[in-house]
Amino acid sequence: MIPNTIPYLIGETAFHHQGDVPFLEELIANAVEVGVDAMKFHLTIDLDDYMVSNHEAIEVIRPWCLSANDWSTVLPNVIEQSLDLILLCNDVASLRWVNDSAIPVKAIELHATGLNDYFLLEEAAKFEQTVVLGTGGSTIEEIQYAVDFLRNRGKTDIFLMHGFQNYPTDFKDINLSKMRLLAGLFDLPVGYADHTDPADPDNEAISVMGAAAGFNVLEKHFTHAFGEKRIDAQAAVSVDQLRNVKRLLGKAVAAYGFNDLRMSAAEKKYGDTGPMKKAIVARREIKKGETVSIEDVAFKRTNESAPLKQLDLPKLIGLKAATTIDKDTFIDYSNVEYVYQSNEISQFKNTDS
Per-residue pLDDT of 4-44, as tens digits, reads 999 999 999 999 999 999 999 999 999 999 999 999 999 99
Q: Where are the domains of the chain?
A: 8-256, 267-337
| β-strand partners of 300 | 279
Position 70: which residue type? D
308 pLDDT more than 70: yes
Give how far Cα 260 sits from Cα of 192, 193, 257, 263, Å.
22, 25, 8, 9
State the average pLDDT over residues 77-94: 97
Residue 343 in this model has a pLDDT that exceeds 90: no
Residues 218, 174: contact at Cβ < 8 Å? no
Q: Tens digit of pLDDT for each residue in 131-162?
A: 999 999 999 999 999 999 999 999 999 999 99
Other CB atoms within 10 A of residue 21 CB: 13
- Give the CA-trace dihedral at 207, 208, 213, 218, to 10 degrees: 80
Q: Do domains 8-256 and 267-337 have the same CATH topology?
A: no
CB distance 11 to 63 below 8 Å: no
CA nearest 31: which of 90, 74, 93? 74
Report the CATH superfamily, name and number, of domain 8-256.
Aldolase class I (3.20.20.70)
Q: pTM for this structure?
A: 0.87
Going by pLDDT thresholds of 50, 70 and 90, the confidence category of residue 258 is: confident
Helix (H, G, I), strand (E, B) or coil at 7: coil
Alpha-helical runs (H) found in 137-238: 140-151, 177-186, 203-207, 209-212
Cα–Cα distance between 114 and 120 in angstroms, integer?
Answer: 7
Q: Pick 267-337's CATH classification: 3.90.1150.10, 1.10.150.120, 3.90.1210.10, 3.40.50.300.
A: 3.90.1210.10
